Structure 1
């Protein structure tokens, strides 16, 4: 009878021991599944954001390239003489004692270095404008989510 009681106690204690292990392992499994789901969701969100950022970058890179091409075409047109830059300038008064003629009047014009500086400044303004617009769009679409 003592042997039966001892065997019963032993089997109950073993059952409780394995039950405790099973509960602990189930809890660990559930925690690991939750962590894995969270990691998968994070990776999916990052992939979507990465695609969105790549599309945004492509859009503004194209706009910047288009603006630069347009500015280069304008600069080429001015350099070739087909186009001119309009200036709001007055010609200095010439010799007032002699007779004036249209041949003496020179149209106001930028110097070569001022013309280069003008186009450099326009290019930098376009670049800065496109970069700012792209960053603002990035903030709206990615950072404010």
Structure 2
């Protein structure tokens, strides 16, 4: 009779141990699931922020490129107008008083206003293009820092 009691008691103990083990595995799996869900939420937020930052960067680049192209176009229009003679590049300058020569002829009354030479003109337009490029690069970097880096 005592033998008949031990077998069910051992079976209940084995079943209880097995269920306890399964319950522990279930709790571990739930904990790992919750951690994974938190990671997924964090990664989605990071992807959203990265997407916004990339969109801001692309918008900044597009805006600055358009402004640079506009400035370069204006410079090219001015260059063509100067080359065609429709506009002139004037230099703010004064002419020194001429020394009267012995014959009494000569003076600056008939002289044209000071103007850049052809070589200096090309340098002038190169400098204008470089200035426009530098300006847009600086403004673009400032916008990048304000809109993306300081976020």
**Shared topology, TM-score over 0.5?**
yes
Which 4+ residue blocks in structure 1 deviate beyond 6 angstroms? none
Question: Rg: which structure is higher?
Answer: 2
1:64 alignment partner, one of 63, 68, 74? 68
Contact 2:90 2:113 in 1 (8 A): no
Contact 1:57 1:134 in 2 (8 A): yes
Q: Quote the Cα distance in structure 1 between the aligned partners of 2:77 and 2:60.
A: 26
1:61 positional shift: 0.6
Q: Does 1:88 align with 2:92?
A: yes
Contact 1:87 1:109 in 2 (8 A): yes
1:11 alignment partner, one of 15, 19, 26? 15
Alignment correspondent of 1:44: 48
Contact 2:100 2:106 in 1 (8 A): yes
Unaligned 5+ runs, structure 2? none
Alignment correspondent of 1:113: 119
Q: Calculate the TM-score normalised by the size of structure 2.
A: 0.88
| Worse-matched range after superposition: 11-20 or 88-97 | 88-97
1:99 alignment partner, one of 89, 98, 105? 105
- 1:18-57 alpha-carbon deviations (Å, 9 max, x no partner): 0110011111111111111111111111111111111111
2:128 alignment partner, one of 110, 122, 133? 122
Q: Quote the Cα distance in structure 2 between the aligned partners of 1:53 and 1:102.
A: 57
Q: Quote the Cα distance in structure 2 between the aligned partners of 1:132 and 1:49.
A: 19
Contact 1:56 1:138 in 2 (8 A): yes
1:110 positional shift: 1.6
Aligned alpha-carbon RMSD (Å)? 1.8
| Worse-matched range after superposition: 104-113 or 21-30 | 104-113
